[in-house]
Amino acid sequence: MFTTSKLVIAAAITLVCASRSSAQSWETIPEIEIYGKHFFYADNGSQFHIKGVAYQQNWAPHGKMGKHKKLQDPLTDGKGCRRDVPYLKALGMNVIRVHDIDPNANHDDCMEQLAANHIYVFADLGIPGTHIESRDPKWDVGLYRRYTSAIDAMSKYKNVIGFFAGNEVFWKADQTKTAAYVKAAVRDMKGYIKGMNYRSSLVVGYAGSNDRTTKDSASYFACDADEANSAIDFWGYNLYSWCGNATEHKYHDSGYEEAYNFFKDYPVPVFFSEYGCIDADDGSSLARHRPFSEVEAIYGPMSDVFSGGIVFEYFKDGSKYGLVQLRGDKVKPYPDYTSLSIQLARVAPATTTKSGYIPSNTPPACPAKSDKWKAAAVPLPPHPNSQLCACVADSLDCDIVTNDTHVYGKNFDYICGVNHALCAAIVRDPALGFYGGMSHCEPRDQLAWIANQFYKGANQQNQACYFNGAANIKKPFLHSECKDFVKNIARLGTGYVPSPTGKGDAQVTRLSVVSSGFPRPIYEELGMPLFVVYLCISVMSLGAVVFL
């Protein structure tokens, strides 16, 4: 039987390679667009169902670095794509999901090969070390720069469908405040795509796990509230609950029936952004014999609600989920590769056309705050604006002069410990929807702001702007284009933050530093109560300050 399977795979790959004469390119391939809760081909209006696989070596969940401690963008490896694309096509794939995009690399070769075989791409915007995370949630100029650079790199390829602004960023009730930052990222990336005049079919969504927060988070990301353009364009569901062979009650017992009933009224497309349960979790050979019996349900009775799914994963790279193993330049398919290809070849999902479909679903209500859901629907975190941050920092009398990020945490803790009020500008409180005017800036600019507040509160004595050599007095400079920015932030640092324009890079140059890797300062735990204290305390109360 396995010999027969190998012959079938070889024949399919030969057919794929022979058919390239009529192939599309990434410039001519029909775009995929969203209308209502479905994906459609933009050229003829026929419905598009996702038959995908995660295509990423050296990947680990929750933003962790893989075992090789090195990012690998598979779309920069033309040779690897020539090795794998025939197997992807023979498998029946029309989508791959790539987790780690290198915005400085060239992707033309792989994207051309994928387009030639009618394969589209979903790309994640974050990478390990530069993403929104539940432990220290934020949405700042460093993350904005990373996310927009990934969009810049991939936007020209018409076989890119869209982007994930996050993947399983939170999964417990006490982490749900993180949702506000992800939704702010969705808002800003949608705005960025529009502002840069990239094609309107590019979309931004989120991939959530199957946990106790799922229903609230799905509602939160799709609800309309008062924030313009902040709702997701699609919802990805990472679900591994259907394990083993199909049984009489599997559709119900696996939770697939519950998922179908919950999402049938959802206003945007839903698909499985990860699926493919391993029935044997002991590392045995059974891990490579997944029957993929859930495929019949996904592309059968669920296909009027779910737009298909993305199997985890193509490569066996230290995980038990890989469909193939690489041996040098050769690909060795596992038995579950064959199982999946057979299952996908059998399906006939329900279809409609764009012209014959009238969207009727409306956005859900935003979840109320509770012990189980901690993120306010409005306002969301401010738009990261590097130009504003640079303008404000240049206008200060006392500035930070070191790039040593390890020093920052100690000084954050010291200044905020002397007087919490000084740190109101950098407070972030998603539960109450309060964000200081400098909360979106990188640590150096944030520290410069509060150091300057400390300095002013000490009657501008020289020793109040030292901090063991981390700061120094300088002549403030207010660029003409900065006046409105500085005025918006105002004395308290809690003013309105305007949206960035263009690529969002500061027109006023300022030395940048790494935005991660320093100790977590006290100010992130302050929240609204301490801000209220600030409003009650006069800046003149700093007479008892102890100077470093």
Question: Pick the catalytic residue: 112, 168, 313, 442?
Answer: 168
Q: 397 and 305 in one domain?
A: no
Do 339 and 393 fall within a single domain?
no
Task: Name the band, by pLDDT with cuts 50, 70 and 90, for residue 2.
Answer: very low
Whether 393 and 279 map to the same domain: the answer is no
**Residue 72 domain flag:** yes
Cα dist. 301→38, 116, 214, 306, 351 in Å? 16, 31, 22, 9, 12
Whether 407 and 318 map to the same domain: the answer is no
Quote the pLDDT of residue 540.
Answer: 38
Distance CA(465)–CA(119), nearest Å, equals: 58
CB 205 within 8 A of CB 162: yes
- In the chain, the number of structural domains is 2
The residue assigned the tokens 């509060």 is 450
Instruction: Give the rounded percent of residues in the chain with a pLDDT score beyond 90.
Output: 71
Residues 391 and 323 in one domain: no
- Of 56-65, 250-259, 289-298, 299-308, which range is least confident? 56-65
- What percentage of residues in the chain have a pLDDT greater than 70? 81
Sequence letter at residue 365:
A
The number of helix segments (H) and strand segments (E) in the chain equals 15, 16
pLDDT digits (tens, 9 = 90+) for 314-327: 998 777 899 999 98
pLDDT digits (tens, 9 = 90+) for 493-539: 665 566 666 665 534 445 333 333 333 333 344 444 444 443 343 33
Are residues 342 and 396 located together in one domain of the fold? no
**Maximum average pLDDT range among 45-59, 283-297, 508-522:** 45-59
Mean pLDDT within 241-251: 93
Q: Is the pLDDT of residue 478 over 60?
A: yes
Residue with the larger pLDDT of the pair 209 and 328: 209
Q: Kindly tell me if the per-residue pLDDT of 545 is higher than 50.
A: no
Q: What is the pLDDT of residue 69?
A: 58
pLDDT of residue 108: 98
Q: What is the pLDDT of residue 169?
A: 96
Please indicate, yes or no, if residue 363 is contained in any of the structural domains: no
CA dihedral (48, 53, 57, 62) in degrees, to 10, reads: 90
Nearest to 354 by CA among 86, 40, 66: 40
On whether residue 492 sits in a domain, the answer given is: yes
335 and 451 housed in the same domain? no
- Asked if residue 536 belongs to a domain, the reply is yes
For residue 333, list its beta bridge partners. Answer: 324
**What is the pLDDT, as a whole number, of residue 58?**
79
Average pLDDT over residues 104-121: 98
What's the average model confidence in pLDDT over 104-130? 97
What does 202-213 look like in DSSP terms, one character per residue? Answer: -EEEEEEESSTT
Is 413 domain-assigned? Answer: yes
Q: Is residue 265 located within the same domain as residue 168? A: yes
Picking from 320, 346, 372, the residue at the C-terminal end of a domain is 346
Helix, strand or coil for residue 535?
helix
Q: Mean pLDDT, the chain, as a whole number? A: 86
Active-site residue, 258 included: no
490: left (phi over 0), alpha (psi -120 to 50) or beta: left
CATH number of the domain where residue 74 is located: 3.20.20.80
- Catalytic residue, from 112, 133, 274, 442: name it: 274
Summarize the confidence of residues 458-476 as an average pLDDT: 95
Q: What is the CATH number of the domain that holds 407?
A: 1.20.58.1040
290 and 171 in one domain? Answer: yes
How large is the average pLDDT for residues 412-417? Answer: 94
Which domain, by its residues, includes 108?
A: 2-346
pLDDT at residue 61 in the model: 66
Whether 25 is in a domain gets the answer yes
Residue positions counted in the chain: 548
Do 338 and 423 reside in the same domain of the chain?
A: no
In the predicted model, what is the mean pLDDT of residues 281-286? 50
In this structure, are 38 and 120 located in the same domain? yes
pLDDT at 101 over 50: yes
With a CB cutoff of 8 Å and minimum separation 6, the contacts of 430 are: 137, 177, 178, 179, 180, 181, 374, 375, 376, 381
Grade residue 489 by pLDDT with cuts at 50, 70 and 90. Answer: confident
Q: Residue 355: inside a domain, yes or no?
A: no
Task: Report the pLDDT value the prediction gives residue 187, as an integer from 0 to 100.
Answer: 95
For the ranges 82-86, 134-138, 430-434, the one whose mean pLDDT is highest: 82-86
Q: 23: pLDDT confidence band, cut at 50, 70 and 90?
A: low
- Tell me whether residue 517 is in a domain: yes
Distance between CA atoms of 49 and 45, rounded to whole angstroms?
Answer: 13
Q: What is the pLDDT of residue 64?
A: 59
pLDDT for 30 equals: 98
The pLDDT of residue 487: 75
- Who contacts 221 (Cβ-Cβ below 8 Å, separation ≥6)? 179, 182, 183, 186, 206, 208, 231, 232, 235
Structure tokens at 265: 């009224």
The three-class DSSP label of residue 161 is: strand
Of 326, 346, 366, the position where a domain reaches its end is 346
Alpha carbons 306 and 262: distance in angstroms, whole number: 11
> Which of 22-31, 116-125, 283-292, 369-378 has the weakest average pLDDT?
283-292
Kindly state whether residues 337 and 391 are assigned to the same domain: no
For residues 236 and 251, what is the distance between their CA atoms, to the nearest angstrom? 19
Question: Is cis: bond before 86, omega within 30 of 0?
Answer: no
Mean pLDDT value across residues 6-11: 51
